């Protein structure tokens, strides 16, 4: 028996809930699990407590051909208004162990990134100052080679533990991950990051903390804080900066600050942020993204690409600019 196209088949749901897989919720609104506060229900959302539980769930989903999506805090995700027909695996606070040994940090994928940065600072370990203001979990940070100030966490990664699509645990090195700007080979492998080992440089704890305080102060001044948002919507690269400038500047110069569709608005504070002004739907956000891209392309001939990822009802993940037209309808 396999999952139906509309929802997880009841016999399979009963089997799943009988497994030792951590905390499980049925028909869970995904708006509760992303920073945009947008998204319909998932058939099942699971919060595992161990690597073994993650592997067990992956094997179950594979055996029964059930769509499976792995998330952290959902800070870079836009869930469809219809939700997800299948299983959403959320690696968060239940898998957030962190240990520091000398210059190395071994952390589970659910560790909150600002907490990781502060623990490194407390231990006098430098190199992670740029992640202090990133409101996500380590697993997603590694997968996307996230960071700020044109740096990425891949600079510090020495080993990554993953669960592969067959449910086997593997250990990968930096050469396997092939980190590049806001990308890693892990995305194409279809693996789930469950823990990582990071290597940092010794430093003065006070100097490291001062750098983090400065970063947070700049963020508070530049970025929207009150309205729900996903951070930067459009991808920024060195080539783009050199050629046409950063996305926020391009969008602002196109006169799009404050542009609103439904409950979604281009932030008046920073044009590369789209905020949920209240009741925004995924369709509102996607239409606004499409409008921004069209205006920018008509104005300067540049094709903006999205950093934020859209999740369709079949648990498929893609850049939001590649969302199908059907998703634009509420």
Tell me the average pLDDT across 39-51.
Answer: 96
What is the model's pTM?
Answer: 0.91
Q: 114 with 130, same domain?
A: yes
Helix 205-222 with 113-122: angle, nearest 10 deg: 150
Q: 202 with 293, same domain?
A: no
Asked if residue 70 is part of any domain, the answer here is yes
Q: What is the pLDDT at residue 269? A: 93
Q: 109 with 63, same domain?
A: no
- Per-residue pLDDT tens digits for 171-229: 999 999 999 988 999 999 999 999 999 999 999 999 999 999 999 998 888 888 889 99
Q: 245 with 198, same domain?
A: no
Q: What is the pLDDT at residue 16? A: 86
Q: What percent of the chain has pLDDT over 90?
A: 84
Give CA–CA dist 242/237, Å, rounded. 9
**CATH code for the domain in which residue 202 is found:** 3.30.465.10
Asked if residue 178 is part of any domain, the answer here is yes
Label residue 5 by pLDDT band (50, 70, 90): very low
Say how many domains are in the chain: 3
Q: 255 with 315, same domain?
A: yes
Q: 71 with 118, same domain?
A: no
Q: 71 with 162, same domain?
A: no
Q: 124 with 204, same domain?
A: yes
Domain boundary pick from 49, 71, 93: 93
Asked if residue 4 is part of any domain, the answer here is no
Does residue 126 contact residue 201 with C-beta atoms inside 8 Å? yes
Q: What is the pLDDT at residue 180? A: 93
Catalytic entry in 94, 182, 219, 305: 182
Domain boundary pick from 52, 69, 93: 93
**CATH code for the domain in which residue 65 is found:** 3.30.43.10
Count of other CB atoms within 10 angstroms of residue 87: 28
Asked if residue 242 is part of any domain, the answer here is yes
Q: 104 with 186, same domain?
A: yes
- Per-residue pLDDT tens digits for 117-164: 999 999 999 999 999 999 899 999 999 999 888 899 999 999 999 999
Structural domain range at position 198: 95-208
Q: What percent of the chain has pLDDT over 70?
A: 98
**CATH code for the domain in which residue 315 is found:** 3.90.78.10
Does residue 320 contact residue 306 with C-beta atoms inside 8 Å? yes
Let me know the angle formed at the C-alpha of 16 by 57 and 138, rounded to the nearest 5 degrees: 35
Asked if residue 38 is part of any domain, the answer here is yes
Q: 304 with 281, same domain?
A: yes
Domain boundary pick from 93, 110, 139: 93
Active site residue 232: yes
Asked if residue 44 is part of any domain, the answer here is yes
Asked if residue 165 is part of any domain, the answer here is yes
Catalytic entry in 232, 236, 267, 281: 232
Label residue 330 by pLDDT band (50, 70, 90): low
Q: 88 with 114, same domain?
A: no
Question: How far, in Å, are 98, 111, 198, 330 from residue 108 at the CA level?
Answer: 6, 6, 11, 37
Q: 78 with 36, same domain?
A: yes
């Amino acid at each position: 028996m396999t999952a139906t196209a509309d929802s997880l088949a009841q016999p399979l749901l009963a089997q799943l809930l009988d497994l030792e897989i951590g905390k499980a919720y049925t028909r869970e609104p995904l708006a509760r699990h992303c920073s945009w506060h947008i998204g319909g229900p998932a058939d099942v959302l699971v919060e595992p407590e161990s690597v073994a539980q993650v592997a067990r769930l992956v094997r179950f989903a594979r055996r029964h051909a059930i769509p499976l999506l792995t998330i952290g805090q959902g800070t870079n995700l836009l869930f469809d208004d219809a939700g997800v027909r299948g299983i959403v695996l959320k690696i968060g606070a239940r898998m957030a162990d962190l240990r520091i040994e000398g210059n190395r940090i071994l952390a589970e994928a659910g560790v909150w990134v600002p907490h990781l940065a502060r623990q490194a600072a407390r231990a006098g370990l430098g190199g992670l100052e740029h992640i202090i203001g990133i409101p996500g979990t380590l697993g997603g940070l590694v997968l996307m080679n996230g960071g700020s100030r044109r740096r990425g966490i891949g600079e510090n990664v020495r080993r990554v533990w993953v669960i592969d699509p067959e449910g086997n645990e593997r250990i990968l090195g930096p050469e396997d991950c092939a980190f590049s700007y806001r990308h890693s080979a892990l995305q194409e492998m279809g693996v789930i990051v469950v823990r990582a080992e990071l290597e940092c440089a010794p430093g003065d704890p006070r100097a490291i903390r001062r750098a983090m305080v400065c970063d947070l102060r700049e963020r508070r001044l530049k970025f929207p804080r009150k309205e729900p948002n996903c951070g930067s919507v459009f991808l920024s690269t060195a080539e783009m900066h050199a050629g046409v400038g950063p996305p926020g500047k391009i969008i602002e110069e196109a006169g799009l600050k404050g542009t609103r569709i439904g409950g979604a608005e281009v932030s008046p504070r920073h044009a590369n942020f789209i905020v949920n002004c209240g009741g925004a739907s995924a369709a509102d956000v996607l239409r606004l993204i499409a409008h921004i891209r069209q205006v920018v392309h008509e104005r300067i001939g540049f094709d903006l690409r999205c950093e934020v990822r859209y999740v369709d009802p079949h648990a498929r993940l893609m850049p939001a600019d590649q969302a199908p037209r059907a998703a634009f309808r509420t």
